[in-house]
Amino acid sequence: MPTPATTPSLHPLETFAPFRRWRPSPLRNLVYTFVWNGIVGGALACAAVLFGSRAPFGALLGEMLLASNIIGFLIHAMVHVLRRVAPGRNGPAMRTARLLMTACCATVGMAGTEALLGGRSAFGFLPQMELLARYLPGAVVVSLLMVAVLAAGERRIAREVEAARQQERIAEAARLLAEAKLRTLQAQIEPHFLYNTLANVVSLIGPEPARARHMLERLIDFLRASLSASRAEHATLGSEIDLACAWLDLLGVRMGARLRWRVDVATDCRDVVIPPMLIQPLVENAVMHGIEPKVDGGTIVVRARRVDTGLCVEVADDGIGLVPAAPRPGGGVGLSNLRERLRSLHGNSAQVQLLENQDGGVTSRLLLPV
Amino acid sequence: MTDRGADIEPIRALLADDEPHLLAYLEELLASAWPDLRIVGRAGNGIEALRLVDELAPDVVFLDIQMPGLNGLDLAARLADERKAPRVVFTTAHDVYALQAYEHAAFDYLLKPIRLERLQRTVGRLKDALAAPASASAPSAEMLAGLLRQLGVAPAAAPAPAPAPLQWIRAAQGQETRLIAIDEVIYFQSNDKYTSVFVADGEHLIRTPMRQLREQLDPQQFWQIHRSVIVAARHVAGTRTDFRGRLLVKLKGRDEQLVVSRNYADLFRQM
């Protein structure tokens, strides 16, 4: 039978919803026991009146409250000791022990009460079998009551834990789905890029066949890498940089002298495992929004290094800078997608920042935990 | 019929594309599809193309749509209301909207990679159109203007649009200047000297005063709710009234609540 990993310190009073508001603590449990004793004592007194007791109600109530408090605190102490002796255990043996000891506490408690009220020594009563027999039915009733109440509480907690787990599973599934969707979105190959690249290949086949072949090979590299990136959950910084290089190579052929680029990645970074398709959108943004709109073109620098918090990847351009540019097909959504992905992957420990360079142009910086 | 001389003069063309290999390839294709065509100029960007059109007055312009400086559509918009506007043939890699638009108005529209057979068809139509009486060519500019309207490009004669709303905010951070996209902003709050810009992962300080910000922000997306607070509408989760009767704005995914001052409470009356 599955039990919650951590046995909650369940108090019978927690059967009533308002009492679940306060977090468990030794003091709270003591107060709860006192309240619980009061409720049980009151209920017993009422029951005695209903079943025809002729004693005055005040005396009856006092007697019942005394008895329920003695029994209740005995049980409280017993449970406390049991938890100390065998912390976290809640198997059948433990349950049986608790049942038997609850019965003992009830018997002792009843005897004690009678002794106190009669003004005699409590211990003098215990050895007398006929008196014990008188208390036994009461003790059994008390034990069964306690077991029933505690079992109901445990079932309730198990249900709550299960519901919480279910919620967690749903949230996790939703997160994975969102991440997969965003990743696929980012690995999508822009039709403009594909057709323009192919148009360049076609135009080069006649005059420069070797260059046309190189371009096709790089396109294949790029397609292979982006297709696998849309399926994989992990990549290495090295493979992501290679993907970006293949893309930059293609753009370099297409744009001719207008695009220059270089990569500056510390060698100890290449094996770092990172989520795929995080760097590519930054490189594409730098070319599409920085270099391409600039008549004279410019330079892209991709840098990566380890920092205290993990990995820092920067894509810097000396392009046109930020102008309220007309949205380009396929552009625009890149950065917000990236942010959303980082949030679902790393919470607040990953960041993407945009910085304005002193000499014009923009640097986008990706900070990832390692 | 009126001017037979035009048939003897060679047709003059200008080519514009920012990708050099594609420009060379188009020239190569035209050489075989239309040997009589005289290519008078080549442009690698929109501004150069505009200059060359003015200078050389070509009969036909082959225009790439995505070009630095001035894109093909904007360029065509400027040409459209010139007295002797050239015929414009767009060349582009992929554009669904432009394709749709072409079916209504553009002289022609070529998809890259350009095929010789397809180009030959264009050349045939161009020859016919250019040989036709001058009066028949007049509607072409109107058609082009129609196409551009459809593409959402304002005709060149349109009055200058209102200053574009703020898109980026520059915030100094140590030695660096951080750029914050306006979409990232959750709300602005002004203090004595600075204005705080709150985004999902923190707070940035800028020097732009509230009054200036308000003028630069799109009032549909940013609501002033207090003398010192402007909030992004899409981050507002709802409002509530506290025990003192003040109206508070609740934000999506954030704990803080922003006080709405009496003067701005009308904003939320209908909500």
Q: What is the pLDDT along chain B (271 residues), one digit of tens a residue?
A: 444 444 568 899 999 999 999 999 999 999 999 999 999 999 999 999 999 999 999 999 999 888 888 878 888 878 777 767 888 898 888 765 566 456 445 688 888 899 999 999 999 999 998 887 554 444 455 566 666 666 655 444 444 455 667 888 888 888 888 888 888 899 999 988 889 999 987 889 998 888 888 888 988 889 999 999 999 999 999 888 888 888 999 998 888 899 999 888 887 776 5
CB contact under 8 A, B179 and A322: yes
Q: Using an 8 Å Cβ cutoff, are B236 and B253 in contact?
A: no
Residue B158 forms part of a structural domain:
no
Nearest to B19 among A254, A336, A348 (CB): A254
Q: Which residues of A touch B181 (CB under 8 A)?
A: 335-336, 354
Query: In this model, does residue A132 exceed pLDDT 80?
Result: no
Does an H or E element contain B40, and which? Answer: strand B38-43
Q: Which residues of A touch B164 (CB under 8 A)?
A: 324
C-alpha span between A74 and A82 (Å, rounded): 12
Q: pLDDT value at position B151?
A: 61
The answer to whether the CB atoms of A253 and B24 lie below 8 A apart is: no
Q: CA of A352: which chain B residue's CA is closest? A: B201
Examine residue A291 and state whether it is found in any structural domain, yes or no. yes
B3 three-state secondary structure? coil
Nearest CB partner across the interface for A322, out of B28, B168, B184:
B168
Task: State whether B142 and B11 are in the same domain.
Answer: yes
Task: State the DSSP code for A314.
Answer: E
Please judge whether A196 and B168 are an interchain contact, meaning their C-beta atoms are less than 8 angstroms apart: no
Which residue of A256, A295, A335 is in closest CB contact with B47? A295
Window 256-315 of A: residues touching B by CB (8 A cutoff) are: 256, 258, 292-295
**Structure-model confidence comparison of residues A235 and B151, the more confident one:** A235
Please report whether residue A4 resides in a domain: no
B255 lies in some domain: yes
Decide which of B119, B150, B181 is a domain's last residue.
Answer: B150
Q: What is the pLDDT of residue A4?
A: 39
Tell me which of A45-49, A196-200, A234-238, B25-29 is least confident. Answer: A45-49
Phi-psi region of B69 (alpha: psi -120 to 50; beta: other; left: phi over 0): left
Which residue in B73, B64, B74 sits closest to B44, CA to CA?
B64
Identify the pLDDT of residue B148. Answer: 62
CA distance A19 to chain B (A): 27
- pLDDT at B118 (0 to 100): 93
Q: What is the pLDDT of residue A331?
A: 43
Instruction: Identify each DSSP E strand in B132-186 by its residue range.
Output: 168-173, 176-181
- Highest-confidence range of A66-70, A198-202, B70-74, by mean pLDDT? A198-202
Q: Which residue has the higher pLDDT, B138 or A355?
A: A355
Q: Quick check: B200 contacting A, CB < 8 Å? A: yes
Q: Token digits for A39?
A: 């409720």
Domain around B137? 5-150
Shared-domain flag, residues A207 and A79: no
Looking up residue B53, the CATH number of its domain turns out to be: 3.40.50.2300
Based on the domain organization, do B69 and B199 belong to the same domain? no
Identify whether residues B30 and B83 lie together within a single domain. Answer: yes
Domain boundary among A176, A205, A220: A176
Closest CA of chain B from A216, distance in Å:
14
| pTM for this predicted structure | 0.68
Indicate the length of chain B as a whole number.
271
In whole angstroms, give the CA distance from residue A337 to residue A285.
13
Residue B44 distance to chain A (closest CA, Å): 8
What is the extent of the structural domain holding A268?
Answer: 188-368
The reply to whether A170 and A192 lie within a common domain is no
> Would the CB atoms of B183 and A336 count as touching at under 8 Å?
yes
Residue B143 shares a structural domain with residue B40 = yes
Number of domains in chain A: 2
Instruction: Please compute the mean of the pLDDT values over residues A4-18 and round it to a whole number.
Output: 67
Q: Given an 8 Å threshold on Cβ–Cβ distance, is B19 in contact with A196?
A: yes
* DSSP secondary structure of B189-258: EE-SS-EEEEETTEEEEE---HHHHHHHS-TTTEEEEETTEEEEGGGEEEEEE-TTS-EEEEETT---EE
Chain B residues touching A194 at Cβ < 8 A: 93-94
Helix (H, G, I), strand (E, B) or coil at A21: coil
Residues B186 and B126 in one domain: no
Q: From chain B, pick out residues whose CB is under 8 angstroms from the CB of A206.
A: 28
Q: Which residues of A touch B44 (CB under 8 A)?
A: 295
Looking at residue A161, what is its pLDDT?
92
What pLDDT sits at residue A168?
Answer: 92
Of A198, A256, A326, the CB nearest to B113: A198
When the pLDDT of each residue in chain A is averaged and rounded to a whole number, the result is: 84
CB contact under 8 Å between A351 and B201, yes or no, is yes
- Interface predicted TM-score (ipTM): 0.73
